[in-house]
Amino acid sequence: MKLYIIMPEKLKPFYNTEMKKFSTEYRNGKIGNAWVHLERAHIIGQRYPFVHSYVHWKMMQFGFRIKNRREILGQIPRLIFGGIKSFVGTVPIGNPGGADVPALKPFKIPNDLQEIFKKAEVEVKQ
């Protein structure tokens, strides 16, 4: 079993870009676009406990912003267990992280994100 702790340096810029895009869209009131960038940041960072948990924290805050009780409540177990599952390498690869999808269901990684993993030299098995 491989333990994951810190996001590889080559992957960080891609994660940071998605989080910056999220923040910009969120501040500009483009809520739908903001959410898409949070989901993308989740897929990129879900194997690394600290960034994984941070994305779920932002998703829960997002739920408060849009007054979506399901999202708020759905993020609580993800916050508690997501980082642990990342640490031990048992995350459902490709899962976008929102409460509207099953927490343990893997998803196909979009092609452009697959390219990001290749550029960052991070192997992701689907």
**Buried-state track 26-46, b at ≥16 Cβ within 10 A, e below 16:** beeeeeeebbbbbbbbbbbbb
Average pLDDT over residues 83-101: 92
Crossing angle for the helix pair 31-45 and 111-119, to the nearest 10 degrees: 50
Percent of the chain clearing pLDDT 70 (strictly above) = 97
Q: Which long-range contacts (CB under 8 A, 24 or more apart) does 85-89 make?
A: 86/4, 86/46, 86/47, 86/48, 86/49, 86/52, 86/53, 87/3, 87/4, 87/5, 87/49, 88/1, 88/3, 88/4, 89/1, 89/2, 89/3, 89/4, 89/47
For residue 124, name the pLDDT band (cuts at 50, 70, 90): confident
Given a cut of 60, whether residue 102 has pLDDT beyond it is yes
User: Per the confidence metrics, is the pTM higher than 0.85?
Assistant: yes
For residue 21, name the pLDDT band (cuts at 50, 70, 90): very high
Virtual torsion, Cα 71, 75, 77, 83, nearest 10 deg: 160
CB 35 within 8 A of CB 58: no
pLDDT digits (tens, 9 = 90+) for 34-60: 999 999 999 999 999 999 999 999 999
pLDDT digits (tens, 9 = 90+) for 59-90: 999 999 999 999 999 999 999 999 888 988 88
Q: What Rg, from alpha-carbon coordinates, does the chain have?
A: 14
